[in-house]
Structure 1
């Protein structure tokens, strides 16, 4: 982890400075003892480096997990469709009739042409093999010398009680290499087996496409699909993870994220499929590997550059994004620095006005100690800030990845719908019945549609209609009232003009009575006469879009390491009109405007989007991806639909005033710290502090010391119109503590660094609540401008103001020097210190 090594070196250099300053402090009798602070920073930096290493490792593993999980989940969703395909195709009328008839060259040529028609639509198959009960191959798509198929998968398909047989291995009648096949028996009208149909899935081709979408250019990650036994089924790199490579099964059990392979160490992550509609796939795992020497060099890049300080401040407070230990480190560093600043400040107060020979040296030493503390905290803050930026960039990338996953799964899903309608339109029974309709024929068509719909649960209804748009059959008995009615939707006439089995129609995403007046997509294809190509009618498949799209989005939500969706995360699908198609959040109803508008044209031009947006007063990490199609669907079939998937995760509240934060030693620090009045010039030292954005101070001779605000007891009664914050025990005596901000009419910023400055004023000992401590510069009396020269207000308890300039001599703000005697006199007028203490108690 090179970045952490850089921070370790920086901390080592600072630790050396602490060693020197501690020694000098011990040599100087008046300097503040630094050994405790030195030890505290030493422990803090060790803890910080440990947390940084853990967070860096976890980020790399999370990135691997996302890619490996996406790879296996996309594959399983694809294979789920194959389990339905084999069931329908095995029930195809033409295939059944061929097996029932005597073998002939003409019949074989006809059925093999049908196989070619099928694969022209479903290009995921490399071969289709039809085997009769005697194990003779009656027809097939791809040339092969085998004449028979005597394999256990054939027997299993003939006798299994399931709905399909899935097999991965070497099948001698398919290939000498391992193949993934789906098989099922072909039955006659009496449900007696006639033979077996085998679909050979193009696994290597499909995995190459999945890996290509998940791995960007210059990505060191290697992805693979592996068996639980460690056999590589397919890999993204034929050199590092070739198919057939044997890995140790223990490397897949997450006991150790480091594995050795080919003489190289890799960070590894293996993921099981989350399944799809109860289907878990062949049991394979998604595996992600990245060389250990490159695993931690991949940062947020361009994404992290746009993450500002206000966003980081908002993000840091989010418990779900960062560990409690890491958030505590930042607070611990600030607390140590706060204690150090107070110690140095008090040490400087003790030196104020001293004429001792070593007083000047002690002052310089004290401020060097303070400077070392600031540098140490700055490195702590920088390292944590860099990590926060990296984590936020990782969340942005996660949103982009999940949006790309959602749109890819949607495209793949709709690819199947466009194919289904075209294939089912080729069913010989449909053509015969539409050519010569009879009540028995209509019922037969309804039975076929019902069988199909039972296999393909993604449809709410399948409808067969004639050339006049009259419904002939439906798949759902509850929709039987549609039979005999005429469909008048725009897509009906368009379907009847289709002149090729390769063309299909699809409706707009809009409400339809065929889906209880909800919005959905209807895919259609023309049913043509066996000869002549005359259109006899069409088939319409009503996509069950509401649950199907909702399931896609639910599976696409960005998650934590335990797989739980990140708090407040949501995902939406948005159409080209900017309206919601589906949403994981009930706030965004279907048909409403997108909560986060995205320009589809920009996505098409620039690629997937990852950015920070503001929504409802919160910073949001947003990822968006445009529909790109899948295989032929929306890439070469003429169909276009600019659907955008958007994933968003809240990062934190937008601060009402991001610039209200105070910083110790703010305005004018450089000028006053560097400037010292000439010898012989009347001067005095000012102990300065900050309240909100205002720089204030009192004469150092009037200050006792600064103390921690912890232990402040609230007042039981109101006093001084809310000016009394309470009392603080100091040297055994209760001291009234005032809200100086209210007295001066300054907005109270309530900084986490608040301190109490104890002062002596007109016979009283008072405490003043301040946000942070500043410098203790020496100021010439002549530089102090009376307040009457600036304002007509006579009730402001101040001696005057000191104008400051920056290094170029330009005005750089003012320091207001308060008059503690006037403060005390005003408070004595309200009853003196005794009354104040009584009010505090």
Structure 2
């Protein structure tokens, strides 16, 4: 009657649908994104097909009248499917946004660090004596102008980030410049702004009559002598388009769909990696500059979009621009990280799954619930099969077949869950690996750019006429003047611990720091000194190895040096700049550490700079001492330009995601100037503890092997099997009452703790003693959260056997059972025999003696006493 009612009312009305809407759009942030998540959509379709199978099996179960009730399992899987798809979509969306945000944040931070150097350049160059001399001349001198313009060319040859240098007098007349221009005078408001400003520089982005009608980024400052009326204005024209092209090129791989754009505070695009999708001058809608999870519509296309403001550098925040990251929705959720996480083993997946910093509680609950549902289903099917043992009802064969199909459907459903959650875990791991790689790339890029400036500074300062004159005509007064110049430079460029002027014999004649005056008259002994003195071109420079030096308090650093030549080309001496490496490299690495949503560095993450031999140059972790050899299990030889390293390693009991990127230089630095020094940046994020001695527990019963055709050689015995660790055990199915969950088991008394007695399980109102089989059989293993109890009839009573997982229930030919006495002479083995091949491919099956096991527990006085209680 019940089946007929079900058919009459129609099963389609009861079907649990796993819809795209329900799966994705339950969260407002995912609105409209579901159709672009192709991998998740495939899982949704597969789960939908499985729900149809559950509907059919439920109907057949009601028609049979004696199959296991499946309504609860069917409903639980349906609800969990919706939750799973929802969380998969959230995590997929989160990963895509995180990748995009990292690129955008790195883009604006790199730019701001570059522009910070420009604010120092304009202040220093505007104080150049040659510039002041030309402006103070009563009449214009073509020769003096040509000489100054030649000096400008020397400057730009070193600081190639500038396209032009312009010198104006107080009236705005051009007195010298690099690039020809139709206008010989400026009437722009920047002149008045510079004259009135109390800052250290003026930063201007926009048209400038003396430069271009198009927007340009310039840095300007007045030329003056202290306490006197300003003489004029110096303007440096920054190669913004060229610089942004380099930044975007480093951040976006050739096959990457990402678009990066630099935008002004009002949303106007200043520069873009793709002038077709985001052309310069386009004004973005206000929503593009605000935090939002909703897609951005732009030019008839939808994008994931993020906007990142500069983190700032030493208090400098840049011109107030943002970097906008755009990713077309049709490509936003394509997953190509498979190769990155190839070889990720189950131990690692187990480790990262339990880390709340990597996976939300909700997602981890979904994974646990799926396992619980499958375990309960397996037990239900197993018990249903037990009930059919020795049954004489006519529909036994149909019921067993139905149970096999139910188990098969559960296995397929669980397989989809496992595959989708496993894909998600790998997706998250791949995201962390990419984060490590990109942060390492940021660190090494910042290092290269910073040291590019150091190479420039030394070469430029070596051209100061004050130094050449003092070295050519040595005098205390001349060297004091040199010390004053060095001190003023060092005040502007705080990245140096000391600036040193030395003569042709390598003796120190002037220093920038009063505290370093003890060096005066001493001879410099580094091998870099002789190299600096042998340099013949103003474009050449020498760099020390990264090693401890007395010039830096016996700590390790780089020293950059440039030679100073006389009129006849004879070396007069040189300028050495002692880089303040410890705080500077430390700041670079800390800025490169991956952070959480609140901007705090991820717990346990660290970053390193290593030389080509693996020695530590700088580190954010005290574990890695400067000068020591890094003992991380990574092959530095495999880190080549354009071949960044991303992998997972085990280190000191933890798994780590590692990203490593080698120095590629910046502009001419390390690319065209002859200098080579391979430095590798490493970024590491912990993934979880390495679990030693992890025991692989066989999977639960496979429905395909539950049924076995009867043989023709003789009588059969159905064996109810189960697993403890890797061991396959079983008892005659006729001796089994039921398998139950091991929860709410009353533990053994203190006097019995640690014995083979595990405790009591209340079964149908009566306590049943439970035997710890792994202890009785001497099997290495340990307690598991999902253990189950097989209740058997033993020695006239009920006995519980604590097992890890339930196995198959094969029908075994009695002739295939080898008696235990033929295998061993021991009389303490609680087994009756061994089956070499039970038809399941699970190996050797040991058939236990339930009566013997019962006597082990029930035949002892303490158990009787406790049972009586």
Match of 2:12 in 1: none
Residues of 1 paired with 2:192 and 2:753: CA distance?
A: 95
Residues of 1 paired with 2:810 and 2:747: CA distance?
A: 33
**Count of equivalent residues:** 832
Q: 2:163 aligns with which of 95, 115, 126?
A: 126
Residues of 2 paired with 1:677 and 1:312: CA distance?
A: 41
**1:607 matches 2:643:** yes
Residues of 2 paired with 1:676 and 1:22: CA distance?
A: 25
Q: 1:228 aligns with which of 247, 265, 270?
A: 265
Q: 2:67 aligns with which of 8, 12, 31?
A: 31
**Deviation (angstroms), 1:51:** 0.4
Structure 1 contact 719–836 (Cα < 8 Å) conserved: no
Structure 1 residues 536-557: Cα deviation after superposition (integer angstroms, max 9, x where no partner)? 2111100000111111111112
Structure 2 contact 223–230 (Cα < 8 Å) conserved: yes
Match of 1:332 in 2: 369
Structure 1 contact 621–651 (Cα < 8 Å) conserved: yes
Worse overlay, 827-836 or 53-62 = 827-836
Structure 2 contact 810–839 (Cα < 8 Å) conserved: no
Residues of 2 paired with 1:657 and 1:589: CA distance?
A: 32
Residues of 2 paired with 1:501 and 1:605: CA distance?
A: 29
Structure 2 contact 552–578 (Cα < 8 Å) conserved: yes
Structure 1 residues 115-145: Cα deviation after superposition (integer angstroms, max 9, x where no partner)? 0000000000011111111221111111111
Match of 2:661 in 1: 625
Residues of 1 paired with 2:399 and 2:575: CA distance?
A: 93
List structure 1 segments (4+ residues) > 4 angstroms apart after TM superposition: 597-601
Residues of 2 paired with 1:526 and 1:188: CA distance?
A: 29
Residues of 1 paired with 2:708 and 2:295: CA distance?
A: 58
**1:346 matches 2:383:** yes
Match of 1:485 in 2: 522
Matches within 5 A, 1:493-512: 493-512=530-549
**Deviation (angstroms), 1:601:** 4.4
Distance 1:415 1:393, change over 3 A: same
Q: 2:137 aligns with which of 74, 88, 101?
A: 101
Structure 1 residues 550-582: Cα deviation after superposition (integer angstroms, max 9, x where no partner)? 111111122333333222211111112221000
Residues of 1 paired with 2:232 and 2:586: CA distance?
A: 39
**Deviation (angstroms), 1:315:** 2.0
Match of 1:579 in 2: 615
Structure 1 gaps of 5+ residues are: none
**1:54 matches 2:87:** no
Worse overlay, 330-339 or 674-683 = 674-683
Q: 2:780 aligns with which of 747, 767, 770?
A: 747
Structure 1 contact 676–779 (Cα < 8 Å) conserved: no
Match of 2:412 in 1: 375
Matches within 5 A, 1:224-623: 224-529=261-566, 531-596=567-632, 598-604=634-640, 607-623=643-659
Structure 1 contact 598–624 (Cα < 8 Å) conserved: no
**Deviation (angstroms), 1:298:** 3.7
SS at match of 2:131: helix
Q: 1:804 aligns with which of 807, 814, 837?
A: 837
Residues of 1 paired with 2:556 and 2:687: CA distance?
A: 33
Structure 1 contact 405–556 (Cα < 8 Å) conserved: yes
Worse overlay, 183-192 or 410-419 = 183-192
Matches within 5 A, 1:102-181: 102=138, 103-181=140-218
Q: 1:714 aligns with which of 744, 747, 751?
A: 747
**1:793 matches 2:826:** yes
**1:837 matches 2:831:** no
Match of 1:758 in 2: 791
Q: 2:50 aligns with which of 3, 11, 14?
A: 14
Structure 1 contact 718–724 (Cα < 8 Å) conserved: no
Match of 2:222 in 1: 185
Distance 1:191 1:686, change over 3 A: farther
**1:816 matches 2:853:** no
SS at match of 2:791: strand
Distance 1:745 1:599, change over 3 A: closer
Structure 1 residues 612-632: Cα deviation after superposition (integer angstroms, max 9, x where no partner)? 222123222111111111110
Structure 2 contact 695–725 (Cα < 8 Å) conserved: no
Structure 1 residues 568-614: Cα deviation after superposition (integer angstroms, max 9, x where no partner)? 21111111222100011110000111132654543226611112222
**Deviation (angstroms), 1:749:** 4.0
**1:732 matches 2:762:** no
Structure 2 contact 707–809 (Cα < 8 Å) conserved: no
SS at match of 1:660: coil
Distance 1:600 1:786, change over 3 A: closer
Residues of 1 paired with 2:777 and 2:187: CA distance?
A: 96
SS at match of 1:574: strand
**Deviation (angstroms), 1:658:** 4.4
SS at match of 2:836: strand
- What is the TM-score when the length of structure 2 is the normalising length? 0.93
Structure 2 contact 401–707 (Cα < 8 Å) conserved: no
Structure 1 contact 62–561 (Cα < 8 Å) conserved: no
Structure 1 residues 161-202: Cα deviation after superposition (integer angstroms, max 9, x where no partner)? 111111111111111110111111111254542111111100
Structure 1 contact 690–772 (Cα < 8 Å) conserved: yes
Distance 1:544 1:721, change over 3 A: closer
**Deviation (angstroms), 1:237:** 0.7
Match of 2:102 in 1: 66
**Deviation (angstroms), 1:385:** 0.7
Structure 1 contact 465–471 (Cα < 8 Å) conserved: yes
Worse overlay, 11-20 or 268-277 = 268-277
SS at match of 1:533: coil
Residues of 2 paired with 1:469 and 1:597: CA distance?
A: 43
Q: 1:654 aligns with which of 690, 695, 700?
A: 690
Worse overlay, 614-623 or 222-231 = 614-623
Structure 1 residues 803-830: Cα deviation after superposition (integer angstroms, max 9, x where no partner)? 11668xxx85211111111111232332
Distance 1:806 1:138, change over 3 A: farther
Residues of 2 paired with 1:342 and 1:837: CA distance?
A: 27
**Deviation (angstroms), 1:722:** 1.4
- What is the TM-score when the length of structure 1 is the normalising length? 0.96
SS at match of 1:154: helix
SS at match of 1:785: strand
Residues of 2 paired with 1:214 and 1:49: CA distance?
A: 31
SS at match of 1:817: strand
Residues of 2 paired with 1:678 and 1:505: CA distance?
A: 87
Structure 2 contact 838–845 (Cα < 8 Å) conserved: no
Structure 2 contact 757–857 (Cα < 8 Å) conserved: no
